[in-house]
A and B are shown apart, each in its own frame.
Chain A
């Protein structure tokens, strides 16, 4: 008995020991569907991966984690800005996820749509901060210094958009004293930079207009200096030295217009100095590209979906991109009417306001961007990707932005496109407007006429009137659907007229304003309000439903 017990014990102990040792201590795991910071830091390609994260992030699907069909990055920002104006009409439809922005409804701080704009920009800014932080100028190679410059330029570009969208400017719909009794005039957004700590983020006030301008210009000038020493980025998905000039031109126009409208007490710079600087940078940036030709403009395969000489800056969405994979939650689905699968074609069709359209002479080839009524002389001149689809479209439907490779049906081809962030033409418009703003109207007219006759409409001549209004109009024709016109409405304090006999705006979008519309001052979302003490009572007033609708 004793022997047996001893033997049994031995077996048991051996068994126990074996199983203890075979399982050992808990195994480390590491992910392969994502990468951790630890994995990245041990990877030589990490900095490059952070560089490319900047353009890649601009076409990220589902940043809000709500599977919202309008959540696909920078393209949706552009569409949101476009639907706020007066020339860009979206057919009222139950599929239209942009109606809150179009109709000035439910734009308060609690809504998802409000979170979307804020978070899309700040998440994109995070990509630039991560890159900037990852490059140590003390030890960086010239190539890595280029990364750093690209990061700073990218960040400046994003902040410039963001500051212009959230800056509160006076209007006829809301007061600059908000519901908390705070004056929010000229306040932009909080600046989070690469070394901002969590504690600072939690007490980060909205920069004033001038502070924001200075942050942006500082980044851009640093980027320009680095490029000067190390050479410029070549890939158009990353900002080159021309783009840096272009962004400086935009920034100075913005600042100049602000000083001109509200007085020069806001900066030591004068408005004229800003316009002059803007004109100079714009001129310099013009060297970075060539103006689009009619053939390029109306090309059914590459029209406004492929990088060409006119584009200075863009981002490209590959067919592997998640937004492309969804087929319907992406830029092309929403802005190109010529697909058989996308949202735009299924109901919320993008159209041009007939009143705006009728102002464009038929000699201007840009008028071919929209489906002409059948009785128009342009009807036969329009090019289209697919006859059947074309025939199904209503009058005034946009044809400008084509599905990728002109493929109307295969989403993986149609939606894998490039999206323009800056075209060289804008620099011509900035230059001419800068002169007009400085009071040099004739110079402006000359530049406009020269641009128009040379590139757009041989028969063009300036018919008189306000030259800035004319430039504003031509610029809107030029940049229809590219997300840029919004900034001019707001900067130039232009109202919208959407309610009139024969309007194609839906009943809820029919609002007329005498100033920049109140809805162009974006409201800061709840996630920031709740967690940033310095912003809590400094939100922009909620513009929702602040205008009566006309009933046409």
Chain B
């Protein structure tokens, strides 16, 4: 596509032949990266007085009269490394780029472009960077590497951790915001965890309309093009073996909760004492006795007393401190009550092993790439892991001068065991709810009177389920999630899957006129997995079902066919035109089948046939199809002025037949200023101005949203169709208009490269969930209403600070700032006016015209009720220590409460008024890194950061909450030690009082600055000198150590702001991010 064209003038000059004639040499010059001919390259016979030729429009040259004495040809072209080759009568010469950055290939829609000639906005993350991370999911390599790309990793669970990606903000309120993934030219909806990152050559993130308008249908949220590796032409066979072994551990620190049982009892005692003292007005001694009597028993107590106290003494003294004579491990009947650290038991170290072998070979007729990879990633929570075996074969062959074929096939087998209820903040089935929330006084195990952990009749370790009368009980009722012990469940139950993924692409390229070719790319993707979910017959809620086994099979099958006619002609006048016409059809089918049974013979048989009582069985298939026609015209004049225009017409099965087609287009232009005559700064290698605008579509809502749907259910043996959702038949595509303007530059001999861009992205006809009055029986339907925009600036820089023979020091930095604003909402959604903003409330947010989608809308904390700070006209001692919030005050005649004339404090949470509390989005985010090479030793480190933004820290709020009858046994954050008390009257933390319901109810008090700095990875390697390795017959030998997810510094210990974009669900009840420290060896031969 991108043939080299230096200049017409040079071409003419070099075409002059020479007089001496002895031998004729013909050949062609080809760009090694693109496989395209290089036009106007100079081919000169060395030491022959300037005999030579320039390549023609097809890259061919002929030199008559080459002296027989001549041995070498010198081939050169601006921007490419000059090469010397031995003279033969016919030659094929490959040139490589001299200036890597300028010639960097960007995989774009239906082709490639060089960075120099590209009019759009894109960033390429290459294999080198991918190799610096040890992620099982290749997308993770994009973290903090691409300006304007935000990654959200909620869970760190192996095999489950596909990040959510947002490119240039949030495009839609209710429809999907995920970018389209294109794998080797075809849309990919499969599981990215099945791909082996070692097979990936590059990932291009296409951010603007000019780049991705050809994916018009689904490109509105950006496109990530993943390209697998291939051999370069004429590359000798090369075998690369890479092996690494590492240790996985928890990367995120714990919240600072109480870990000492005595400290917890003291705090709980304090809560009870304060209840009696502050709220009931009892005397100090009565309150002390009340607290003691209720500490471990009754409807206010903790249920467990784990301390021995000498007869006649009390657990807590009148000073509020634990009795120094108290000893841990109270023997009660047959058991000893001894506390355990649930957090320590819930996380462990895991072993990570990864092995990759790749083989490459290229010739001028074709090339082959083959790989085999094995990954075994043991999780950091017991019984979680991920295993993957993958293999890829990619081959291309120029069968005839006019016919090229290629096949790329990938197969992976994978298996995993997972943790249940990941991130479910209140579920008794989530280990991490226990690990992060249970008070440090509860035993994990059942111990006999001597303190030894007991084994049951099956030889299994006995865990405390905290439910008297049921297996796994010491006779004490644990108020915190009784009848559950997920650690035990994780040992006894099984929650795993395994499956197979196959992805195959075949293409054919036919040249049938000089400038015209036809390319058809057909791909098939297939991913099936079978899961087993087994619940043990021994303990817990379902023990009496005598074992439950559920089997689920899912199959995702998709095909994509595209055909493109490509015409490319260069006029000798310097005009260059390329036109594409194409068609693409995509089909996806998701099939689901599951069944379950209970009452099992043996836990060794985890199949349905091993159980006798039928549970349920389900199956369905979900189809999704798109089809599109596309056209594109690219133009440039002298590789100096560039223009592009594209158009795509698309249909989606998600819309009704008559509203199915949408039209999308783009226009782009670029100007290489440094190529102008007037531009006289030789330290500038490249300076490009680019500008583009276009529109793309989004159909990212569920299927059949345009009509009313019904569930098919059993009404005691009769078929019933119960209403599910309703829709509007005229619903159609959401459209995203994208404006991009910026500069690309390369300075100081390619020492400093960078891009500065501004974007303005406007979504119109938004697929908006229009609320209905719920008395209709429906909640909402989708319609094309509403406008939103994202605008921002992105900067990325990289360069070599030191570039010497023994030393290289380079660094890179990228950052972006963007703002989101809702421009227009449908009138019926503007139900509230807050601070002059009209909009509606959803959860903890206010969605309003003129403000960010992620604007918090919360009660505002007004401090602690005390003598210095109280609500109302007079101080009421019985309210001391309570939380206060702000409420609005209205004039007496303003009965509808339209205009607040002021605000006042209240201790009644239900009276508090919400207000706009700022945006969740950060002010600045990005990443930076540096790498250092000294001789054979290389070192690199990469960081990520975010400045500003807010997270609603619900974990912290929970840990700061007062106990009530319904919520006993939850741990406290150590900050409660600094709570308000008559002695600590300046504290801004409300008093610890049993039963004070709303002390930590959600308010802006729990909005936490979401800034963070993370050390994403560190690599240190030593490549043994070639002189040594050659002796061993090796091409390369490299030893390295690598650390991933090294550290996170956030505003509060334990909080990981990277889990959320909207600032809503950052919680330690998600599987923690994993830190991996590995050592490895790389051998090539």
Contact = CB atoms under 8 A, between A and B. Distances in A.
B720 A56 contact: yes
Interface string B537-572: 000011111100000000000000101010000000
B541 to A, nearest CB: 5
A181 B896 contact: yes
Interface residues of B, number: 102
B980 to A, nearest CB: 21
Contacts of B565: 16
B719 interface: yes
B56 to A, nearest CB: 17
Interface in B708-765: 708-724
Contact of A392 (B469, B598, B623, B964): B469
Interface stretch (A121-129, A294-302, A454-462): A121-129
Contact of B627 (A5, A23, A542): A23
A192 B775 contact: yes
A327 B587 contact: no
Interface in A25-58: 25-38, 40, 45-46, 48-53, 55-57
Given A19-B561, A391-B469, A26 B625 contact: yes
A105 interface: yes
Contacts of A60: 711, 713, 722
B841 A526 contact: yes
B479 interface: yes
Nearest to A196: B776
A506 B720 CA distance: 41
Contact of B721 (A46, A201, A316, A525): A46
A27 B561 CA distance: 14
A545 interface: yes
A135 interface: no
A321 B714 contact: yes
A411 B545 contact: yes
B621 interface: yes
Interface string A105-130: 11010100001001100111111011
A269 interface: no
A34 B714 contact: no
A544 interface: yes
Interface stretch (A146-154, A217-225, A340-348): A340-348
Interface stretch (B69-77, B83-91, B504-512, B669-677): B504-512
A515 interface: no
A16 B714 contact: no
A180 B897 contact: yes
Contacts of B1082: none
A27 B469 contact: no
A49 B626 contact: no
Interface stretch (A244-252, A255-263, A530-538): A530-538
A15 B521 CA distance: 12
Nearest to B620: A33
B615 interface: yes
Interface stretch (A90-98, A277-285, A480-488): A90-98
A374 to B, nearest CB: 16
A198 interface: yes
B965 A507 contact: yes
A537 to B, nearest CB: 6
A38 B709 CA distance: 9
A55 B715 contact: yes
Interface string A495-510: 0000000000011100
A537 B517 CA distance: 68
Nearest to B829: A530
Contacts of A360: none
Interface stretch (A6-14, A363-371, A436-444, A471-479): A6-14
Contacts of B311: none
B778 interface: yes
B966 interface: yes
B585 interface: yes
B723 A31 contact: no
In the complex, which of the residues A35, A108, A328, A528 has the most CB atoms of chain B within 10 Å of its own CB atom? A35
A32 B712 CA distance: 9
B777 interface: yes
Given A20-B583, A532-B773, A410 B402 contact: no
A54 to B, nearest CB: 8
A544 B1001 CA distance: 15
Nearest to B1001: A106
B1023 interface: no
A192 B280 contact: no
Contacts of B625: 26-27, 29
Interface residues of A, number: 114
A532 B775 contact: yes
A12 B518 contact: yes
Contacts of B1038: none
B721 A122 contact: no
A56 B723 CA distance: 11
A8 B721 contact: no
B621 A94 contact: no
Contact of A28 (B481, B616, B622, B653): B653
Contacts of B895: 180-181
A527 interface: yes
Contacts of A527: 771, 773-774, 779
A491 interface: no
A237 interface: yes
Nearest to A544: B910
A508 B776 contact: no
Nearest to A386: B544
Given A52-B719, A96-B966, A118 B651 contact: no
Given A33-B620, A93-B966, A325-B615, A190 B721 contact: no
Contact of B775 (A11, A108, A189, A409): A189
A94 B910 contact: no
B828 interface: yes
A144 interface: no
A530 B841 CA distance: 9
Contacts of A181: 895-896
B403 to A, nearest CB: 8
A508 B480 CA distance: 18
Interface in B645-704: 651-653, 657, 660, 703-704
A318 B717 contact: yes
Contacts of A37: 707-710
Nearest to B598: A410
A16 B564 CA distance: 8
B908 interface: yes
A25 to B, nearest CB: 7
B967 interface: yes
A319 B598 CA distance: 13
B775 A507 contact: no
In the complex, which of the residues B468, B585, B613, B625 has the most CB atoms of chain A within 10 Å of its own CB atom? B585
Given A23-B583, A551-B280, A410 B544 contact: yes
Which 7 pairs show the lowest CB-CB distances between chains A and B? A126-B777, A181-B895, A409-B544, A392-B469, A33-B620, A8-B512, A52-B720
8 contacts: A29-B623, A33-B621, A35-B721, A36-B704, A52-B715, A60-B722, A94-B969, A347-B482
Given A94-B967, A95-B482, 12 more contacts: A8-B513, A31-B620, A32-B621, A48-B719, A53-B721, A57-B720, A126-B776, A201-B776, A237-B716, A346-B482, A389-B469, A408-B544
Interface of B: 280, 299-300, 402, 467-470, 477, 479-483, 508, 510-513, 517-518, 520, 522, 541-546, 561, 563, 565, 583, 585, 587, 592, 598-599, 613, 615-616, 620-627, 651-653, 657, 660, 703-704, 707-724, 771-779, 828-829, 831-832, 840-841, 895-897, 908, 910, 964-969, 995, 997
Interface of A: 4-5, 8-9, 11-12, 15-16, 19-20, 22-23, 25-38, 40, 45-46, 48-53, 55-57, 60, 91-96, 99, 105-106, 108, 110, 115, 118-119, 122-127, 129-130, 179-181, 189-190, 192, 196, 198, 201-202, 204, 237, 316-322, 325, 327-328, 340-341, 346-347, 388-389, 391-392, 408-412, 506-508, 525-532, 535-537, 542, 544-545, 551
